[in-house]
Amino acid sequence: MKKRSTWMILGLLCSLQVLWAQPKLSVEGNGLFTSPASTNVDIQNTDDNTNALVRFGDNGASAVSLGFNGNQDVFKISTAATLGADDFTMGLTGLIGINSLPGNHRFLINHNSTSGVDGSAHLTLQENNTGDFARLRFGNLGSDGLWTIATRATDGSSRMNFFYNDGSNFGNVLSLDGDLFRVGINNTDPEAYLHIKQKDAGISALILENDDQTGAEKWGMQIGNTNLDYLFEGVIRGSFSSATGAYTAFPPPAAFNDPAEENQEAVLAKVLQLNPVRVPQEKSKGHTISLNPREVEQVNPDWVVRSEDGEQIGINYQQFVALAIKSVQEQQQLIEKQEAEIAALAAEEAAFETRLAELEAKLAQSTGSAPPTLPEAPVTTPASPLDFQLSQNRPNPFREETTIEFKLPEATVNAQIQLSDINGKIVRKFNLSKNQTQLNIKAKDLENGTYFYSLIIDGEIAGSQKMILQK
């Protein structure tokens, strides 16, 4: 009896060992778990750091597994017979990872994306209405504000909008046109590569800031009422008129707080040394009248402006408005001086004629005869101005020597060229022969500046020209 009991126990143990080696549950066809209350299926391991999983597959092979990875303490869906692949992971706090463990992220997608029409993306939102937008929203708990990114990839109306709604006001803050590659800011349909709608007057539509050690200076651009204004540190510096297109500069108010020093320097002679040139315009095929900044610098370094790096030279043409006014004032002073000199000469001539008449009268009284008459000077018919020629000197301006070409009338008796400075003082006289056609003038003993040369034919000024000496 004892032997029989022993063999029965050994047989039972062998049966249990065989049972433990087989699957605990096998279902063919459809399986159903029902309960009058909650229906629960618990799959647990009694050991730590082990997996509790369910496998799925076909043709007698497992292809996908899902369950709890005890080593990493995450729930996984893995495209493998084990839970080793991180295709979908969710931690015990609800953090989710795709193709990766979530780490500290609420939702993490690990993927090597590719570009192009057939490329793969980390995430794709597809709208099932071809005329509507695919939308992604962002908000904060307890706040009415919502940010929405709305995209539409329809040919001819491709658009991406960044939309904000604070509960009462809403609009597109930024719009991207995918068909025309344009950007619009502040609820606008972009009409240019960058289209900014200025919402409020007094707020710059665009600000450029220099973030460096000099203090982060800011330049702003905005539309006033209708004009285009430029501001530096919030203070207007210049403006283009919408009516005329004219530009107006607004100097800093502090520049005129102190009494401005009057410019005592004579500028007329230097202005006359400037040589305007025609500069070709490549695209328009036309020309513009300009000044060479380097030549202007030679005349007066204060009349040019150097770039902040010192490499380029520019001209502040607005300064030349003041120079023109100063030149006109000096010219007027010169005219008034000459008029005073002419009046003084006329008064001296009148006084001389009066004294001459008195002397003639006294002479007649002393002799008892009529006053003598002076012999008449022979009459010489001056050459016709149409018969002469006086050309501009070449080169002009000149440094060492210049040439003046001219033509004298055949009836010329006496001729000379007189050279005068800017004040009208004659500094040189050159007698000309009848057959002479040109005159060479050397810069020796002449100072830099503007001169006038006049062709005198038989005592009459036939013509004058201006020449400039720049040694």
Instruction: For residue range 139-191, list pLDDT tens digits in order.
Output: 999 888 999 999 998 888 899 999 999 888 888 889 999 888 999 998 888 89
Judged against a pLDDT cut of 90, whether residue 30 lies above it is answered with no
The sheet carrying 228-232 orders its strands as 206-209, 218-223, 228-232, 235-240, 247-249
How do strand 88-91 and strand 74-78 relate by DSSP bridges? antiparallel
CATH 1.10.10.60 at 389-469, yes or no: no
Task: Give dist(CA 204, CA 427) in Å, integer.
Answer: 61
C-beta of residue 257 within 8 angstroms of C-beta of residue 278 = no
Residue 26, pLDDT score: 61
Q: What percent of the chain has pLDDT over 70?
A: 84
Helices (H), 255-412: 268-271, 293-299, 317-367
How do strand 194-196 and strand 182-185 relate by DSSP bridges? parallel
The top-scoring range by mean pLDDT among 199-203, 391-395, 449-453 is 391-395
Residue 17 confidence class, pLDDT cut points 50, 70, 90: very low
C-beta of residue 300 within 8 angstroms of C-beta of residue 315 = no
How do strand 96-98 and strand 107-109 relate by DSSP bridges? parallel
Residue 19 confidence class, pLDDT cut points 50, 70, 90: very low
Judged against a pLDDT cut of 80, whether residue 355 lies above it is answered with no
**388-409 average pLDDT score:** 92
Looking at residue 126, the DSSP 8-state letter turns out to be -
Query: What values do phi and psi take at 14, rounded to 5?
Result: -65, -35
State the distance between the two ends of the chain, measured CA to CA, in whole angstroms.
Answer: 143
**Domain locations in the chain?**
32-109, 134-196, 389-469
How do strand 415-420 and strand 449-457 relate by DSSP bridges? antiparallel
What is residue 19's three-state secondary structure? helix
